[in-house]
Each structure stands twice: as structure tokens, then as C-alpha cells.
Amino acid sequence: MRRRSGATCHSLTLCLLFLLTAAVTAGREKNSSSASLFWSTAKEEEDLLRKTEPNDDSSAPSVVSDPDQLDGGFSSLDGMLQWAIGHSDPAKLKESAQDVQRLSPSELKKRQMEIKELMEKLKMPSDAQLMQIAIDDLNNSSLSLEDRHRALQELLILVEPIDNANDLSKLGGFAVLVQEFNHPDTDIRKVSAWILGKASQNNPFVQKQVLDLGALSKLMKMVKSSFVEEAVKALYAVSALIRNNVAGQELFYAEAGDLMLQDILSNSSIDIRLRRKAVFLVADLAECQLENMHKVELPFFSNRLFLKSVVDLTASTDLDLQEKALVAIKNLLQHRTVEALVLKDFCGLDTALERLRQQLRDLMLEEYQRDYAMDLEALRKEVELVFHTRLGMGTKVPT
């Protein structure tokens, strides 16, 4: 099992999953109750699938979300099957799928038992074992670049379920991945950051392990990479590491994370995905700061230039970026240190909101944009209301 051959499925688990699924589909056509047997033997895979199901990327971005939560690994069962098919011998697969369809219910049942026995005999490797192989490979400096890529792609998939992410930590996988940040190949660095981001997402245990390895400052340097894909995944990982994590955020500010964000927000030649992620992170940090009731307000929230760079994003031509900027402004307006007058006089928020109102009014006339434009207008109005309330109240925060 050490060296996997490139021509067929990468992992036995996935190959079997595909075959089982084909069998289940065929079984359902004949007798629905007989199908369940398969799944009981493939429980782990079922769990894995449930957790990899996408956060529904309904392409109308009416709900603000970080797009990286959606990409990577398999976004659906279908995606996983496509992948498995792509890595299998097509002739053999077709043959076995046809075989399964020809079976009668009793034959099918017999076949199920055979597969079950076979699986037990084969001792299907657990996800933890597969991760161990990938880590050992990565930790081998003489591994070929191709095999290194393959090991990383496998980890990218395996790390999705939260239990696996925790196991990867116990296997020492994160230290190995952080080493990969120094690899000369940009794709290796990119996928390593991506895996760390995925594993850290909503996982305080992993966040701590990864932060303790000193990954944050390395990732922040990668955000400045001239290779856009690397920068995008690095910023994704930075967000995942510090999200709802006070220790991570303190480290982020200590490393001048606020300046990093401001540089991205204020530079319109920077890739739009980076800018969206940056403003999404600002909104998130502002919200987190409120929830944690920090006694000390972050000085960067009262930095005029910083605030202006956020307000200026509302003049972008990218609706998604505009929406994320509105959410950020709304959250920032909840902060005592953010002065409404500064937003008005220095940042021109009044003018910006009015310009946006007109833009959205025009967009609503276009059928295909209408719903989204209406959602955005509702959000814009909400920001306007909070803003004017704050203006009327001087420096006090609305209650």
C-alpha cells in the first residue's frame, strides 16, 4: 500500500465507494430495502460524504460567504464519483456496472454479502492510515514532485471531516505541511495552505496546533506572493486560523495584519478574490470583536484611511465585493471607536450610499439581476439607518 499506482483509484476506499454506489443505484431500481445493506458496510464513507457536501453554492451570492468554504476537495457526491471514475479503468468500471444491473434481487443480495466479506478481508485502510501514508510521503525529501502533489491532493480530501482534521494533528501532519510552505514549487505551497485552512475552519483544537507551529506569520507572507493562487489560498488559511480565535487575532494584529488588509483593500489592481476575502475578514473581525466584548477596542478600527478603504469598495463594479463591504461597514458601525462623523466627512459614506442606491435602482430594472439587487438594497438601507442613527447620536453606540 506504500506506493500507489497512478493509473487507477488513488485510494481503495474511494474505489470501493464508487463500486458500492453503482451497486446501490442498481439495487434501488429493483428492491429498495436491499440497498441499505451496502451503506451499513460503508458507513465511514457515508459520513465523509455528508460532511463534504457543499454549503450549497447557489451561484446567486445573496448570502455573504467565504467562497473558499465551497471549493476544493469534492463539492458533491457526484464530484467524488467523477474523480473516482477518472482514476479508474473505464472498461472495467463499465463492465462491473453492467454486471450489477443484470442481477436479480437474490443475486444482488449474495453479491452484497460477498463484497462485505471481501471488504473485511481486504481490511480497508482507514482514513487515518491513508493520512499516515500521505504524511510519510511528504516527509520524504526524495519524493518526486508528482507524488508530492498527489499526497497533498489526498490530504485535501481526507482532511474535510472534523475527526480526520483532529487525527491529522495527532499524526504530526501539520508540522509536515508547514514545512511545505518553504517548497520552491508554488502549487505545493498553495495546496499546503489550502489544507491547513480547511482543517482549521471552525476547529479551535486544530487552530491552536497550527498557530503554535508559527504558521500564521508564514501564511501572511504568502498572502503577498506574486502568485495569485498561492496568495488567495494563504489568505483563506489566515482567515480560517483566526476566525473566532482571540489568540490568533492577537497574533494577527501583532504581525501587522491590519496593514496587510488595508493594502489589499486600497489597491484596485489586486485580484478581486483577494479583495473579497480581505473585506470579508474585516467584517468577521469587527463582529467577533463585538461578541467577545473586548475591553480594548482595536486601534485600526478608528484608522481613517482604513475605514475609507472599506467605504471606497462600495464603488466597485463587483456586486459581491460591494455586498461584503456593506456588511463590514454595518459591523464597524457597531463599534464605539468608529466615529460616524469620520465616516461621513472623511470617508464620504453618505455619498457612497446614495451612489449605490442609484446603481441598485438601475440594476433592479434588469430582470436577471433583480432579486440580488433587491437584497443588496435592503442591506444598503439597513447600513444607512444605522449610520444616520449614529450620526444623530454623536459618538454613542446604538443600543
What residue ranges bind ligand NAG (CB under 6 A)?
31, 33-34, 105, 135, 139-140, 142-143, 172, 176, 267, 269-270
Q: Which one, 235 or 353, has the nearer CB to ligand NAG?
A: 235
- Ranges of H-type helices in 173-214: 173-180, 186-200, 204-212
Residue nearest to ligand NAG (CB): 172
Q: Report the C-alpha gap between 149 and 138 in whole angstroms.
A: 9
Contact (Cβ atoms closer than 8 angstroms) between residue 95 and residue 81: no
Q: Which one, 174 or 372, has the nearer CB to ligand NAG?
A: 174
Quickly tell me which residue has 467584517 as its cell: 283
Q: What is the smallest separation between the CB atom of 300 and ligand NAG, expressed in angstroms?
A: 18
Q: Three cell numbers at 236?
A: 483563506
Instruction: Return the axis-axis angle of helices 12-30 and 105-122, rounded to nearest 10°.
Output: 160
Q: What is the smallest separation between the CB atom of 230 and ligand NAG, expressed in angstroms?
A: 13
Q: Which one, 52 or 192, has the nearer CB to ligand NAG?
A: 192
Q: What is the smallest separation between the CB atom of 132 and ligand NAG, expressed in angstroms?
A: 8
Query: Which residues are within 8 A (CB) of 111 and not within 5 positions of it... i.e. 6 or more apart?
Result: 23, 100, 103
Q: What is the smallest separation between the CB atom of 31 and ligand NAG, expressed in angstroms?
A: 4
Q: What is the smallest separation between the CB atom of 270 and ligand NAG, expressed in angstroms?
A: 5
Q: Which one, 20 or 231, has the nearer CB to ligand NAG?
A: 231
Q: What is the smallest separation between the CB atom of 272 and ligand NAG, expressed in angstroms?
A: 12
Q: Residue 177, Cβ neighbours under 10 Å: how many? A: 25
Q: Which one, 105 or 299, has the nearer CB to ligand NAG?
A: 105
Q: Is 157 left (phi over 0), alpha (psi -120 to 50) or beta?
A: alpha
Widest distance between CA atoms in the chain? 79
Q: Report the C-alpha gap between 141 and 345 in whole angstroms.
A: 57
Q: Which one, 58 or 269, has the nearer CB to ligand NAG?
A: 269
